[in-house]
Amino acid sequence: MEIAVAVGALASLLLLLNRTSLGLHMRAAAADFRTARLLGVRANAVISFAVLLSGVLAATVAVILSTDRIFVTPDFALQDTILVLVGVVVGGIDRLWSATLGGFAIGFAHGALSGFLPSTGEWPFTSGVYLDSAVFALVILVLLVRPGGLFVARGQRAVERV
Amino acid sequence: MKRINTAGALQLLGPVALIALTGLMGSFVSHARALEFIEALVSVAIVVALYVFVGNSGVLSFGQIGFFIVGAYAAGEMTVPADAKNGVLPNVFSVIQDHTIGNEWSLVLAAGIGGAYALVVGIPLMRLSGLAAAIATFAVLEITHNIVRNWEQIGPGPLTLSTVPETTDLWQATLGAIAVVWVAFAYQRSPLGRKLRAAREDPFAAQAAGIDIHRQRLWAFILSGAMAGFAGGLYVHYLGTLNVEDVYLELTFLTLAMLVVGGIGSLSGAVVGALVVSGLDSFLGDAENGEVSWLHAPDGTRLVAVAAFMAVVLVFLPRGLTGGIGPAIPRALRRVGRSGSAPWRTAPRRPE
């Protein structure tokens, strides 16, 4: 069920971004806000729509998550949101595919490392309590090597290192 | 001949006068109320530390609270009285266990450790710009939090550090905040500060003029880390107890919000933002507790109202409360101010 919803949402998002003029306007506003406005894109309206769209998607996720977790609190899923945001940037925030893969990658790294680290042990990095440190150290490493995003082909973005 | 610059002097005297006024007002109120003034002055120190790096370089950093945590724990642990140490810090390394230092030296130590940590972290990380730098410094905060929370050889771990002498009084907080503002002012007027701001305005032109952006950012990062560590020292001596969960995400976002609300591009903005937001925060907190006779606020008003206030300020004054009184707000920022671009995203991109 969850997978079906995820695939459905991703597919409709892809269709919207790549097959409609609204999607084209959204990508134009993201690439260069001012030029897009000069060319007649109602960029402010487009951005408002993008916020609305991301709100709808987030609500969809929240419904799925709340069937999975019994306790719903005001800071529900805050940690997950932060982790996914980091993952999206690590993957490459400019494109839907690289961002999605980045979200998957950090979730995968989190899971794999939590299986790998023993539950007890001494510093450094031999105990499960340092899982977050391990994941975020990996994040720093990836950002240093590929600042534009892990799944973005080299040369597609301006170099972000000085 | 040294030119006396009135505008330049105002940049220093304005914030210093505000801080001195806050300290003075604090001395006329009850002891319990004075604590709120001390807290406001400590937040001035944190926000100015943030400003030194974020404001001058235009690169967003979440890492400063990490240096703040390290400074706070270093200053706190080293001043716990010798006879209480075994109880509060049972598992720490013997160097922490066996030594106790005075209040002033603990602040120096906090600044030194904060700066040294910023140096180690900054050497690789200062090569990054934009969103990558923001996320990488956020990762530094997460790692710092995670290690401090779990490694019991360097601190109390998940337990609360207590019995720290409460030596940050109104006097020390005022002087500390003024010292931090003075350092920030001296830095931004120095050749180092000017080079960094040049790099913020136009990285390519700055590089062509021979500025090593990595080195300039690193200087600011170290200075900012030392100031954040110092602010941490003031903070732990103000509270007397410290739990690692108290100095985490909420403090990070609140201090960054203070900086943005005040005006990210100026020293006066950092000071005004910190004072106004923490003043509102304290006032509404008192109102929630029924300590304000004419206003009875239900629980939770504080968080909602402070957040709403910050949102309203940013909608109507996108450049913050001070709107760039102080060292020139870059023209590039002025033009794009309303279009929703954050200052750290305005660096020109090469055509793809």
Cβ–Cβ contact B128 with A under 8 A? yes
* Whether B341 contacts B349, CB under 8 Å: no
Of A32, A51, A72, the residue at which a domain comes to its end is A72
Same domain, A68 and A91: no
Q: Which residues contact B71 (CB under 8 A, 6 or more apart)?
A: B110, B111, B113, B114, B228, B229, B230, B231, B232, B233
User: What's the gap in Å between the CA of B33 and the closest CA on chain A?
Assistant: 30
What 8-state DSSP symbol labels residue B242?
B
C-alpha distance from residue B12 to each of A104, B179, B188 (Å): 49, 11, 11
* Whether B234 contacts B42, CB under 8 Å: yes
Same domain, A32 and A64: yes
| Beta carbon pairs, A and B, within 8 Å | 84
Same domain, A98 and A146: yes
Q: How many other C-beta atoms can be found within 10 angstroms of the C-beta atom of residue B183? A: 18
Q: How many CA atoms lie within 13 A of B124 on its CB side?
A: 15
How far, in Å, CA of B134 to CA of B117, rounded?
17
Q: Mean pLDDT, to the nearest integer, of A36-64?
A: 90
Residues of A in contact with B142 (CB under 8 A): 132-133, 136
The boundaries of the domain holding residue A161 are 77-162
Position B98 scores a pLDDT of 87
Taking CA–CA distances from A43, the nearest residue in chain B reads B339
Which residue matches tokens 């716990």? B80
Position A72 scores a pLDDT of 83
How many domains would you assign to chain A?
Answer: 2
How far, in Å, CA of A119 to CA of A101, rounded?
28
pLDDT band at A123 (very low <50, low <70, confident <90, very high): low
Position B341 scores a pLDDT of 40
* Whether A123 contacts A130, CB under 8 Å: yes
Position B63 scores a pLDDT of 92
Position A126 scores a pLDDT of 64
C-alpha distance from residue B107 to each of B170, B204, B225, B271 (Å): 16, 39, 13, 21
* Whether B228 contacts B65, CB under 8 Å: yes
Structure-block tokens of residue B80: 């716990």
CA nearest neighbour of B286 among B272, B276, B296, B273:
B296
What 8-state DSSP symbol labels residue A159?
-
Cα A138 off chain centre by: 16
Same domain, A61 and A90: no
Q: Kindly report the average pLDDT of chain B as a whole number.
A: 87
Out of A129, A143, A159, closest to residue B135 by CB: A143
Same domain, A45 and A97: no
Cβ–Cβ contact B195 with A under 8 A? no
Position A15 scores a pLDDT of 93
Same domain, A105 and A33: no
Residues of A in contact with B131 (CB under 8 A): 89, 93
For the ranges A123-127, A145-149, A157-161, B347-351, the lowest mean pLDDT is seen at: B347-351
* Whether A27 contacts A35, CB under 8 Å: no
Same domain, A13 and A50: yes
Q: What is the residue type of B116?
A: A
What is chain B's pLDDT, residue by residue, as a tens digit (352 residues)?
Answer: 455 577 777 788 889 999 999 999 999 998 888 999 999 999 999 999 999 999 999 999 999 999 999 999 999 999 999 888 888 888 888 888 888 899 999 999 999 999 999 999 999 999 998 889 999 999 999 999 999 998 888 889 889 998 899 988 999 999 999 999 999 999 999 999 999 999 999 999 999 999 999 999 999 999 999 999 999 999 999 999 999 998 998 899 999 999 999 998 889 999 999 999 999 999 998 888 888 888 888 888 888 998 999 899 988 988 888 875 544 444 444 444 444 344 444 444 443 3
Same domain, A124 and A66: no
On the question of a cis peptide bond just before residue B318, with omega within 30 degrees of 0, the verdict is no
Structure-block tokens of residue B1: 């001949």
For B9-330, CATH gives 1.10.3470
Position B64 scores a pLDDT of 95
- Positive or negative, the CA dihedral B325, B204, B48, B260 is positive
Q: pLDDT by residue (tens digit) across A71-99?
A: 888 887 788 888 889 999 999 888 888 89
Of A72, A97, A126, the residue at which a domain comes to its end is A72
Of A72, A87, A116, the residue at which a domain comes to its end is A72
Same domain, A67 and A95: no
Backbone angles phi, psi at B341, to 5 degrees: -80, 130
Angle at A155 between CA A153 and CA A157, to 5 degrees: 90
Same domain, A53 and A129: no
The residues with which B242 forms a beta bridge, in sequence order, are: B161
Out of B213, B340, B349, closest to residue A162 by CB: B213
pTM of the prediction?
A: 0.87
Out of B128, B143, B349, closest to residue A158 by CB: B349
Same domain, A53 and A104: no
Q: Spell out a b/e string for B17-32, using b for 16 or more CB atoms within 10 Å of the CB, else e.
A: ebbeebbeebeeeeee
User: What's the gap in Å between the CA of B29 and the closest CA on chain A?
Assistant: 36
> Per the CB < 8 Å rule, is A89 touching B131?
yes
Instruction: Indicate the domain borders of chain B.
Output: 9-330
Q: How many other C-beta atoms can be found within 10 angstroms of the C-beta atom of residue B121? A: 24
H runs (alpha helix) in chain B: 6-26, 31-57, 64-79, 82-88, 94-98, 103-125, 130-150, 170-189, 191-201, 203-208, 213-239, 249-262, 267-288, 301-316, 331-336
Which residue matches tokens 């009850």? B30
Residues of B in contact with A156 (CB under 8 A): 352
How far, in Å, CA of B71 to CA of B111, rounded?
6
The residues with which A161 forms a beta bridge, in sequence order, are: B128
Position B342 scores a pLDDT of 43
Same domain, A142 and A92: yes
